[in-house]
Amino acid sequence: MFWLAESCHLPFIKFCRDNGRVGESDSALYEAFDVLYDYDAFPYCEKIFEDGKPMEEWVDALIRQDAELPQNAIKLRYLENHDTDRISQYVKDWPLWKNWTALQFTLKGMPLVYHGQEIRTSHRPDIFTADPIAWKEDDAAADWIRTLAHLHKTLFSAQPVIDYEIDETHPVLRISRDGYAGAFLLAKTEPDALISTNLKDGVWYNLFTGTDFEVADHHMKAADFPVLVQMEDEVKD
């Protein structure tokens, strides 16, 4: 059992305090709760897939979490929940959806798969009305999430040292943690487009897909994203 707090957007905490009501900070809530919602950072993430905003504000918010919250803090990482629009309302492209979902499971914290995400539902649910899941509607999406959940549980630690690198040209977000490097293409791109990478030239094994991909002249194809590689491994001949 663990205690989960649906901690709030920062403007709402200020509103509560300004009106003489209790408005606890995330740091204070971690004195009693094990996991907190991600509302101090997630709104900046929404701006990327909803409005195409740059990634810097979101990454800065993720860095602030590591710098300001208790060292053992666990954030609930989601792309949608009962108070937000579905990500599939904005991310309709299948490869792009795979990149965003893979990123969700690679971030530090505990991933949340909200009812319907596993079949790429795009309608926003009414929490007061029955909204049954069509379990077999999108087997490919469900299988992708199963793969990501397995990798998250078997490869990643609860409290990693995590680093972020932004390449807004494409745009790509690179993450390193637990001896692995991930790269995520977060805007729709032609599959044959060549994307720069900091991986060495050669053939690499992608843990997300279980297939090989090639890096040539420090570039790789957009179709090969997202990627997760083990950094101590040498590239294949």
Condensed to tens digits (0 to 9), the pLDDT of residues 85-97 reads 999 999 999 999 9
Task: Check: CB of residue 226 under 8 Å from CB of residue 172.
Answer: no
| Residue 235 reports pLDDT greater than 80 | no
pLDDT tens digits for 136-186? Answer: 788 999 999 999 999 999 999 999 999 999 998 889 999 999 999 999 999
pLDDT at residue 27 in the model: 93
The reported pLDDT for the residue numbered 177 is: 97
Report which of 175, 185, 184 is spatially closest to residue 155, judged by C-alpha positions: 175
Its pTM stands at: 0.94
User: CA 231, 163, 113, 95 torsion: positive or negative?
Assistant: negative
Task: Evaluate if residue 234 carries a pLDDT over 80.
Answer: no
